[in-house]
Amino acid sequence: MSASQKIHFEISERKILLRVMDVVFPVLTLALIGHYTHFDYFRVSQTSFYWTIVLALYIVFFGTIFEMYNLQTASNRFQISKSIILTTSVTVLFYLLTPFYTPVLPSNRLQIILFFFSILISLFVWRYFYIVFLASNRFMKKVLFVGSSKDVDSLVTELAKFNPHYKVVGYIAVDENPNATDVERITAEELDEFIRLQYVSEIVVANIKNKLTSVDLYNKLLRLLENGIVIRKYNQVYEHSTYRLPIHFEDRELYKFFPFSRSNQNKLYMYYTRFFDLVFSVVGLLGFFLIAPLLWIINLFANKGSFFYTQERVGKNGIPFTIYKMRTMVQNAEQNGAVFATTNDSRITPFGKFLRKTRLDELPQFINVLKGEMAIIGPRPERPVFVDQIAASIPLYQTRHVIKPGLTGWAQVNYPYGSNLEDSLMKLRYDLYYIKHRSLFLDVNIVVKTLSTVLFFRGQ
Return the higher-pLDDT residue of 151 and 140: 151
Return the minimum-mean-pLDDT range out of 62-66, 345-349, 372-376.
Answer: 345-349
pLDDT at 108: 85
pLDDT at 4: 41
Q: What is the 3-state secondary structure (H, E, C) of 244-285?
A: CCCCCCCCCCHHHHCCCCHHHCCHHHHHHHHHHHHHHHHHHH
Tell me the three state secondary structure of residue 46. coil
Tell me the three state secondary structure of residue 41. coil
Q: What is the pLDDT of residues 162-172, one digit of tens each?
A: 877 788 999 99
- Region label for 415, one of left (φ > 0), alpha (ψ between -120 and 50) or beta (otherwise): beta
Give the single-character DSSP code of 322: E
Confidence of residue 459 (pLDDT cuts 50, 70, 90): low
Phi, psi (degrees; rounded to nearest 5) at 82:
-60, -45
Q: What is the pLDDT of residues 352-394, one digit of tens each?
A: 889 988 889 999 999 999 999 999 999 999 999 999 999 999 9
- The Cα–Cα gap between 124 and 310 comes to 48
pLDDT at 139: 64
Query: Would the pLDDT of 259 be above 80?
Result: no
Using a pLDDT cut of 70, give the percent of the chain over it. 91
Which secondary structure element, helix H or strand E, spans residue 21, and what is its range? helix 11-36
pLDDT at 137: 59
Return the minimum-mean-pLDDT range out of 48-57, 176-185, 203-212, 237-246.
Answer: 203-212
- The Cα–Cα gap between 346 and 142 comes to 47
pLDDT at 329: 87
Angle at 209 between CA 203 and CA 214, to 5 degrees: 60
Confidence of residue 140 (pLDDT cuts 50, 70, 90): confident
The mean predicted confidence, pLDDT, of the chain is 87
- The answer to whether the predicted template modeling score (pTM) of the entire model surpasses 0.85 is no
Query: Would the pLDDT of 100 be above 50?
Result: yes
> Could you tell me which residues are beta bridge partners of residue 323?
311
